[in-house]
Amino acid sequence: MKILNTFSLLSLAVIGSKAMRNISSKELVKDLTIGWSLGNTLDATCFETLDYNKNPIASETCWGNVKTTQELYYKLSDLGFNTFRIPTTWSGHFGDAPDYKINDQWMKRVREIVDYALNTGGYAILNIHHETWNHAFQKNLDSAKKILVAIWKQIAAEFADYDEHLIFEGMNEPRKVGDANEWNGGDYEGWSFVNEMNDLFVKTIRATGGNNALRHLMIPTYAACVTDNAVNNFKFPSGDDKVIVSLHSYSPYNFALNNGAGAISNFNDGSEIDWVMNIINSNFISKGIPVIIGEFGAMNRNNEDDRERWAEYYIKKATSLGIPCVIWDNGYFEGEGERFGLINRSTLQVVYPKLVNGLIKGLGNSIKTRTTVRKTTTTTSQSQPTNDNSCFSVNLGYSCCNGCEVVYTDSDGKWGVENGNWCGIKSSCNSASRSCWSERLGYPCCQSTSSVVYTDNDGKWGVENGNWDETIVNYSIEECVTDIEKNIYMEVVIGYSPQTSTINIRVDLKKKVLILLNIMKKHENSLSLTYNNERENNMLKDYDAGDTTNDKDEINDKGSMETIKYIIEVEDYADSIIYRPYA
């Protein structure tokens, strides 16, 4: 009977749902590179200042962060992140017993943001976060179990047809809040509470059917901490190969998290990180148990160079053990609190590019090159030549698609989904012609890209080969987007009046020369270089004797190469330089 029930659940994971790979969590985590957390947003609580009944979704911004956008996740994906943790507090957003019904508007908003993350082609981790009902005391256990089952049943039902790119995390740092043992690894009462809740969470999700029968689940140790007590008293379920241990580690503590006496701003000693990784390895990794470090970070102390070295060291250690890490970003950059901000969510500016550089360098060769397929208004002709019906996926056990719609791209090739099953896009689709609305306005359709950089009343625009199209190829220099060894940020402002758009590209200095030469070739006498830093202008005046311009140097054929070389040279000293081609 048990075999029959298991088979039935697995069948439901395919029938009527998006195709979901039946792989172990140990295999899944190999696809995860570096992660980012949407901190202090959906997890924010303002019970005393907000009327949750009047505006059920206002809490998203009540801790000071802006409303989350799709563009934020596209930006993070472009930076190299492919795993997105979405901390979510459900307290205040559900009703009374016995149903504990989640507010429809809140559920809809959570789903929107989950979709934002998944639209990048990456992974999303959805959890329950700053809850008021699951503090790890024995007296709370019975009521906490009822609420946990009710809440996770509703979440599981909402996302039942999502594939393996959505991961559920049962609890965030469950602990004895306010107790002397809150942060020291726990005690028997706390360990027992967390183990029972973890077990119930796994059973609850598995019983909901759909793709949840194969859903990858994360369960924490006591407080998600890495200590001997917490790890040694943690119970990992047997007989389920789709469970991942969830751990948090802000190490070294005095450098990364401590905001009081003993805090330091220099990173010179990685021994505490080594100790953490050794504990994880000996208790989990060496036993075939997958781990995700769902939170880590080092707060800003005006020490970005040290944080860059820390990030590279931390990620290199974790990557060597196959442990994906998710950095905590709470959107705060200054002040007395925990300053874990990384990206300005309003402007999408990376505030600490060296820190991001350290994360990417730490990944080494493990970072996966992938193409993000984004929705545009471009349509692809479904007509295909009859002389080429082959596709790569046949050798992998998947049939060829009948159509040409691409929904995911990896190192194997382009994938589609038809009749609920993955299928490979035929090579003949590469020659399929595109048609779009921009042709009636005198602009061609993009043929080789889908990145949108500007939207107006007509539709979504980009630039391809130096011309406005429906999407952008960054001046045909896609190969310059990522360089793991040395990343520097370049802002390219493309202005074909009256439309202007901004693209941030991560490149190294040598490739930046190629970009400038590419721009010069296309724009010749119509290129101006605008400097946004007084030091840059002073250096320019020192270099170009006789040039008294304070903020702009018109570039023409004469002397253009000499000026370009100079600009590259000062890049090491400048915060940023804007290259502004115009017509």
**Half-sphere exposure (Cβ direction) of 550: Cα atoms closer than 13 Å:** 1
Strand blocks (E) in 184-329: 217-220, 243-248, 291-296, 325-329
Q: Is 28 exposed, middle or buried (0-12, 13-18, 19+ CB in 10 A)?
A: buried
27 is catalytic: no
From the list 295, 308, 464, 470, the catalytic residue is 295
- How many other CB atoms sit within 10 Å of the CB of residue 199? 14
Which of 60, 173, 308, 470 is catalytic? The answer is 173
CA distances from 245 to 213, 282, 450 (A): 18, 14, 36
Is 295 annotated in the active site?
A: yes
CA dihedral 253, 255, 259, 262 (to 10 degrees): 80
Of 383, 324, 252, 427, nearest in space to 81 by CA: 324
State phi, psi for 394 to the nearest 5 degrees.
-60, -40
List all residues 6 or more positions away from 16 whose beta carbon is below 8 Å from its beta carbon: 161, 210, 420
Give the Cα separation of 260 and 125 in Å (integer). Answer: 31
Residue type for 529, please?
A: L
Q: How many CA atoms lie within 13 A of 448 on its CB side?
A: 8
User: Rounded distance, CA 14 to CA 161, Å?
Assistant: 9
Tally: H helices and E strands in the chain: 14, 21
List active site positions.
173, 295
